[in-house]
Chains A and B, each alone.
Chain A
């Protein structure tokens, strides 16, 4: 799995977004940050809460000048049907068929032939600034991902449980 400091491997693949099939390339994304999260499969009983959770907060990520991208080894057509099943997903779901992108990020499980639950936050230089892998049966926290994006954007030293409006370290003696 790639770590903070590593350059994010590029991708240029089909995706589903809103109610259509499109294409997305990392090189063409202009936002300050990119949140790329991998999930194992479409049509799963484990993953949907994350996919819908990110969708509910997608405006918050947009407000932070961050592009949200979900990725799995399913096709764009599958993503589209899955997104419809979930009531519509407003951010791109990358069709990483064959798992080349997941492999490049070091989060492909060869045995299961799916991506791990992994989240990467990329900065403006498309360097990885945050990397997280979660057990298959534990959904990730959307609010925590958003908190980390906000914390990174401050460029400050953020203490544990930092939230917008709270003090930065280390000038704070309690930090």
Chain B
């Protein structure tokens, strides 16, 4: 979501510096939002698809191996437990207990040894749609006040305030989820990044405006 917020805030700040026509800035920001949402959605879809294929293939391979040579699984898990600090004999007992349930042994070995698991088989389409919608939702945060207020610089101020507020809120929420004592720090971190991105975008817009022959 913060990708959409930051990208759109950056576009609005940059274009407000470079383009004097308010409507053109809004259209450009909408186009940027559409392109960004598509790009993020497709990227998430492709990423999850590729990852799911790799995980599925690895799971099939390890399951095939487990069926043919279960002792390899047992030995691999034993070594992993030992590597993680359990005494050899205790590791042996744990693996021996798990071996009474081949499915449990396999699932534990997949997770502990290979870092794989059924939970990693994601839904590519869902990931893509959620990513796209989240980007659009984020983009609306600076875009809505910018559309509602017709004076460009006031509109930009409102957009940046909304952006800062939402990003601070996201950061604060993250701190709350992580059960941090100083949640405002997480919020402030997001806020600084947002304002930094917007400021850089605005400065770049101002710098390139003479090249396009448009007034700031």
Taking A42-B89, A43-B92, A46-B71 as known contacts, 10 extra A-B pairs with beta carbons closer than 8 A to each other, sorted by chain A number, are: A41-B88, A43-B78, A43-B89, A44-B92, A45-B74, A45-B78, A45-B92, A46-B75, A74-B88, A137-B72
Please tell me if the beta carbons of A43 and B88 are within 8 angstroms of each other in the complex.
Answer: yes
Query: CA–CA, A74 to B95, complex, Å?
Result: 19
- Inter-chain CA distance A78–B92, complex, in Å, is 12
Contact between chains at A45 and B88 (CB < 8 Å)? no
Q: How far is the CA of A81 from the CA of B88 in the complex (A)?
A: 12
Q: Does B180 contact A (CB under 8 A)?
A: no
Chain A, 59-89, contact with B by CB distance < 8 Å: what is the 0/1 string? 0000000000000001000100100000000
Q: For the complex formed, measure the closest distance between the CB of A74 and the CB atoms of chain B, giving whole angstroms.
A: 8
CA distance A41 to B74 in the complex (A): 14
In whole angstroms, what is the CA distance A81 to B78 when docked? 17
Indicate which residue in A46, A81, A137 contacts B89 across the interface (CB closer than 8 Å): A81
Residue B91 is within 8 A (CB to CB) of chain A in the complex: yes
Pick 8 A–B contacts, CB within 8 A, sort by A: A41-B88, A42-B89, A44-B78, A44-B92, A45-B92, A46-B71, A46-B75, A78-B89
Does any Cβ of A come within 8 Å of B69's Cβ?
yes
Q: How many whole Å from B117's CB to the nearest CB in chain A?
A: 22
Interface residues of A in 90-107 (CB under 8 A from B): none
Main secondary structure, interface of A, reads loop
Give CA–CA (A104, B135) in the complex, Å.
65
Which of chain B's residues has its CB closest to A136's CB?
A: B75
**Residues on B with beta carbons closer than 8 Å to the beta carbon of A41:** 88
Q: How many angstroms from the CA of A46 to the CA of B76 in the assembled complex?
A: 11
Are A137 and B88 also in contact (CB < 8 A) when A44-B78, A45-B78 are?
no
Q: Which residue of A lies closest to B70 (CB)?
A: A45
Which residue of A43, A46, A74 is within 8 Å of B91 (Cβ)?
A: A43
User: What are the interface flags for B72-94 relative to A under an 8 Å C-beta threshold, 1 for contact and 0 otherwise?
Assistant: 10110010000000001101100
**A45–B75 contact, CB under 8 A?**
yes
Q: Which residues of B contact A78 (CB under 8 A)?
A: 88-89
Q: Could you say which residues of chain A place their CB within 8 Å of the CB of B91?
A: 43
A78–B89 Cα distance when bound, in Å, is 8
